[in-house]
Amino acid sequence: MDYISLKSVVIAFFVTHCPQYFVDYKLSEEYTGEKTALASNFLAYVGLTAQIPNVIFNWANILWEGKGQNLTTRVVYSLVFEVFIFILTVVLAMVNTSTWPEAFFFVTMGSVAALNMANGIYQNTVYGMAAKLPFKYTGAVVLGSNISGTFTSIVSIVSLLIAPDARTSAIYYFITALFILLVCFDTYFALPLNRFYRYHEMVNEKEQQALRRAQIGQTSSAPLWPIFKKCMPQLFNIFFVFFVTLAIFPAVHADIKQSSPDFFISEKFFTEITCFLTFNMFAMIGSMTASWFPWVST
């Protein structure tokens, strides 16, 4: 469950964690021959393009109950869709786009939006799978999501180390994302082989059948508004933390530069280490700490 949940956010990070490729290479003045606002504001654009579809499809996935029990359909279609998006991304990295930077930018934004639509569906599906297990296993989903940021930061740094240029680095980087998607197919279909998960899935199905029998002749819609009011304090906490975080990260944070050329972290790795790796590593540590020392016991 930890690995499956890791994918739920790791794919989204693969686009936002590659400023050297998009900003310093594909949209740079040296490559395109013209200076545009597309490069300077790229991370702000990609942040909006990523988060808005993700939120919309998360909500749609919650509210739409027509096929809510068919988790396999949601997982398979979202993974296949993301595979095609990353194949397109790798192809774009290989071809010369210097004469059509605007078209490349909008294709990239469209890919980011489509990627996060699929990711929103996948992410909610993973939480639905975790809901069949004891409550403490929901923490594995949250932890997996936080590990994803650290993982992608490390992959980005390694790709910069081993690749001779930004183009090759990006190709390695996005092919790694494709590999993760393929492994996710295996881990998802291998999950029913786990006796622990299979047992809790069977228990959950029996509980759902009993609940459906008890609700014959009654409305089957979940009382979303009463639930929302009960959760309001914690929902506000989550919203406020994410609002402040995303207002700064990555667009503002990634724009911080070295104050001295003699700084012990070179310019090539400065943003990757001080922005992405630092942010995601401490998010992971915070998530692990919260699971080790809970304020409220269950």
Domains of the chain, CATH where assigned: 2-211 (1.20.1250)
Residue-level length of the chain: 298
- How far is the C-alpha of 84 from the C-alpha of 88, rounded, in Å? 6
Q: Is the preceding peptide bond at 233 cis, omega within 30 degrees of 0?
A: no
SS3 of 105-125: the string is HHHHHHHHHHHHHHHHHHHHH
Residue type at 234 in one-letter notation: Q
Taking the C-alpha atoms of residue 62 and residue 71, their distance in angstroms, rounded to an integer, is 13
DSSP SS3 for 99: coil
And the tokens for 105? 């930018």
| Helix ranges (DSSP H) in the chain | 2-16, 19-21, 29-32, 37-40, 42-63, 71-94, 101-130, 138-162, 166-190, 195-214, 224-248, 267-271, 278-292
Q: Give the whole-angstrom CA distance, residue 253 versus residue 74.
A: 34
pLDDT of residue 67: 47
| Other beta carbons within 10 Å of 113 | 18
The position carrying tokens 């940021």 is 149
**Closest by alpha carbon to 159, among 145, 170, 148?**
170
pLDDT at 100: 92
Angle at Cα 41 formed by Cα 37 and Cα 42, nearest 5°?
Answer: 105
Sign of the dihedral through C-alpha 41, 50, 18, 95:
negative
Give the C-alpha separation, 34 to 73, whole Å: 45
Alpha helix locations (H) across 64-137? 71-94, 101-130
pLDDT of residue 149: 80
Cα–Cα distance, 40 to 119 (Å, whole number): 26
Q: Which helix (H) or strand (E) holds 20?
A: helix 19-21
Q: How far apart are CA 32 and CA 34, in angstroms?
A: 5
Which tokens is 13 given? Answer: 């990070």
Query: What is the spatial distance between Cα 10 and Cα 153, in angstroms, rounded to a whole number?
Result: 10
What whole-number distance in Å separates Cα of residue 281 and Cα of residue 214? 47
Residues 6+ apart with CB under 8 A from 113: 49, 50, 52, 53
pLDDT in tens, the chain (298 residues): 544 555 555 555 555 556 778 888 898 888 888 888 888 888 888 888 888 887 787 777 667 655 445 677 888 888 888 889 889 988 998 999 999 999 999 999 998 888 888 887 887 788 878 888 887 777 777 777 778 888 888 888 888 888 888 888 888 888 888 888 888 888 888 888 888 888 888 888 887 777 777 766 665 566 778 888 888 888 898 889 888 888 888 778 888 888 888 888 888 888 888 888 898 889 889 888 877 776 655 4
State residue 266's pLDDT score: 87
